Amino acid sequence: MAKFQRTPEIGGSAANMKNVRESDYSVNFLAEILFFLNGVMREKSLISLQIAKNTHTTILSSILAVDLQKKLLVLDYGINETLNQMALKTGSVQCITSHNRVRIEFDCDNLQHIRFEGRNAFSADIPASLKRLQRRNFYRIATPVANPATCVIPPLKQCEEVPLTLNLLDISRGGMALIDRPYADAPLKAGMTLENCRIELPEFDTVETTVRIVNISTAILSNGNTCSRIGCEFVNLSEKSGTLIQRYIIWLEQQARKFDTKLHF
Which pLDDT score is estimated for 229? 87
Q: Residue 174 pLDDT more than 50?
A: yes
Which pLDDT score is estimated for 21? 39
Q: Are 67 and 91 in contact (CB under 8 A)?
A: no
175-197 mean pLDDT: 83
Q: Residue 264 pLDDT more than 80?
A: no
What is the overall mean pLDDT for the chain?
A: 80
236-254 mean pLDDT: 86
